[in-house]
Amino acid sequence: MTPLEREIRAIIETEGPMMVSDYMQLCLAHPRHGYYVTRDPLGAGGDFVTAPEVSQMFGELIGAWAAAVWQQMGSPAKVQLVELGPGRGTLMADALRAATGMPDFLSAVSVHLVEASPVLCAIQEKRLANMAVSIAWHRAVEELPDGPAIAIANEFVDALPVGQFIKDRDGWHARTIGIADGKLAFMAAPGVLFGYAGAELPSGTILERRQDQPIALLSRRIAADGGAALIIDYGHAESGFGDTLQAVRAHKFADPLEMPGEADLTAQVDFAALAVTATRQGATTQGPVPQGAFLRTLGIERRAERLQSKATPKQAADIDSALMRLTAPDQMGELFKVMAIAHPKLGTLLGFDS
Ligand code: SAH
């Protein structure tokens, strides 16, 4: 039993079954045993691989996107380049390197990283040590200073906790995690939350609601001070029903209730719900568009060819397979989507014009 499971069981024994969102929060962010607090989960030796770790092309194109947005904002003398959940700092390093070709943009930029994990902060610090820009770390979005911002969040929102609700004959109940037959198990809280909605849905239907306050705060900032945010994640464009809670460990799917704190726990992003959150704060949204289409519009194929012209045959083959991994419909190209949150005065942004 993991140390975190022992703590979770103690909480359940004294307080009763816990909400799925509380479980997810503890698994990912418990101050001593949380998954992100205790390790670097990324890369071949970790649990999962993200787009910036697949290829430098990803961060480079996002750097070019950020520079284009800055121009569209009227090239302000100062702009924050914000990243939520920067992981190993790879995306930001590639984006800043690509931006050296745009010196006016680079000299306007101050980098602000929002990262909760001390382990990952240390890795980011090392990775970004020699960059010619100022870099500040913040533990949460509310700590960001005011001012126009261009923000990036790749595979950040999927790690924000979701609450789950389950329909029974008498209505909707909170889905909880308790102990049954000596093991952690999903349950339904006895009280009916709303009896009336979705009468036609079968019993057992699950509804997810994400705790997306960081995106609400970021949207409010953008609506007030100007700029845009790029949200990239796996998920669905329309809201729907179903349990999408997913655990991944050593590149394989795992049981979300097994080894709490030792597996990555995420749930699909409901982009329609995220758009509602953003517009409520006075921002507008563009997309979502599939990641494959977005990267092609940004010129990933030309970028790949350019890199291949200077590459060995083995490197050229690796670039091809990275290109496929990021853009092919049966890989990350369709499941991953890109949505922009923008100041209402900003026109159509690069990558969202189709
Ligand atoms: N963007 C990176 C890493 C994705 S993993 C990449 O694409 O490789 C998720 C990242 O979000 C990690 O850096 C994790 O520590 C961070 N994170 C998750 N929840 C967070 C929260 N609530 N506040 C701040 N950072 C968080």
pLDDT digits (tens, 9 = 90+) for 199-236: 889 999 999 999 999 999 999 999 999 999 999 999 99
Of 21, 94, 115, the residue with max ligand 1 atoms within 8 A of its CB, to mutate for a pocket test, comes to: 115
The answer to whether position 214 is within a domain reads yes
* Neighbouring residues of 286: CB distance < 8 A, sequence distance ≥ 6: 339, 340, 342, 348, 349, 352
Q: Among all chains, which residue has been given the structure tokens 């929060």?
A: 25
% of the chain at pLDDT higher than 70:
100
pLDDT for the residue 233: 98
In a domain, residue 284? The reply is: yes
Measured in angstroms, how far is the CA atom of residue 192 from the centroid of ligand 1? 34
The answer to the question of residue 238 being in a domain is: yes
Distance between CA atoms of residues 205 and 1, nearest Å? 31
In a domain, 34, yes or no: yes
Span from the CA of 117 to the centroid of ligand 1 (angstroms): 8
pLDDT at 354: 66
Q: How far apart are the CA of 24 and the centre of ligand 1, in A?
A: 14
**Tens digits of residue pLDDT in 252-279:** 999 999 999 999 999 999 999 999 999 9
CA of 43 relative to ligand 1 center, distance in Å: 14
First to last CA, the chain: 51
Compute, in angstroms, the gap from residue 231 CA to the centroid of ligand 1. Answer: 13
**99 falls within a domain:** yes
User: Residue 296 sits in a domain of what CATH number?
Assistant: 3.40.50.150
Beta bridge partners of 171: 168
Atom of ligand 1 nearest to the CA of 29: 19
Query: What is the 8-class DSSP label of residue 281?
Result: T
Radius of gyration of the chain (CA): 21
Question: What is the span of the domain harbouring residue 136?
Answer: 3-160+210-300+335-342
User: CA-to-CA distance for 111 and 56, rounded, in angstroms?
Assistant: 19
Pocket of ligand 1 (CB under 6 A): 36, 42, 50, 52-53, 85-87, 91, 114-117, 120, 154-156, 159
Q: Which of 143, 156, 230 maximizes ligand 1 atoms within 8 Å of its Cβ, making it the mutation to test the pocket?
A: 156
Q: What angle do CA 298, 335, 202 make, to 5 degrees?
A: 150
pLDDT per residue over 78-94, tens digit each?
999 999 999 999 999 99
- Statement: residue 152 has pLDDT above 90: yes
- Name the 3-class secondary structure at 183: strand
3-state secondary structure of 137: strand
Structural domains of the chain, count: 1
Q: What is the pLDDT of residue 96?
A: 97
Residue 41 Cα to ligand 1 middle (Å): 10
pLDDT at 327: 98
pLDDT tops 90 at residue 54 = yes
Q: What pLDDT score was predicted for residue 44?
A: 74
| Atom 20 of ligand 1: nearest residue by CA position | 116
Which residue's alpha carbon is at the smallest distance from atom 10 of ligand 1? 85
Is 264 a member of any domain? yes
Please tell me the distance between residue 85's alpha carbon and the centre of ligand 1 in angstroms: 3
* Residues 190/170, Cβ–Cβ less than 8 Å: no
- Render pLDDT for 309-338 as a digit per residue (tens, 0 to 9): 999 999 999 999 999 999 999 999 999 999
Question: For residue 306, is it within any domain?
Answer: no
46 assigned to some structural domain:
yes
Q: Are 100 and 169 in contact (CB under 8 A)?
A: no
Q: Is the pLDDT of residue 110 over 70?
A: yes
- Is residue 304 within 8 Å of residue 56, measured between CB atoms? no
What residues does 323 pair with on adjacent strands?
none
pLDDT score at 196: 73
